[in-house]
Amino acid sequence: MDEMDLPQMKKEVESLKYQLAFKREKSSPRHMVKWIEDGVPEDPFLNPELMKNNPWVEKGKCVLL
């Protein structure tokens, strides 16, 4: 990591002031858990029903060219 010079340091301080001003929210992880759990039935990697017609798997044994 490089040492900052004076202009960079000034910009870093300005940036930190701006970042401090960010309006943080008490965002409960429960919202994320619910969002994920609601989406699981539509997730092809977790719902085998969705992969019954897998486009990457050959249907028949041979392909007529």
Residues that bind another protein (CB under 8 A): 1-2, 4, 6, 9-13, 15-20, 22, 24-30, 32-33, 35-37, 39-40, 42-46, 50-51, 54-57
Asked if 54 and 47 touch (Cβ cutoff 8 Å), the reply is no
Taking residue 50's Cβ as centre, other Cβ atoms within 10 Å add up to 13
CB of 48 to another protein, least distance (A): 11
Q: How far is the CB of 42 from another protein (least distance, A)?
A: 7
Task: State the nearest-atom distance from the C-beta of 44 to another protein, in Å.
Answer: 5
Residue 64, classed as helix, strand or coil, is coil
Residue 2 CA to residue 9 CA, distance in Å, equals 12
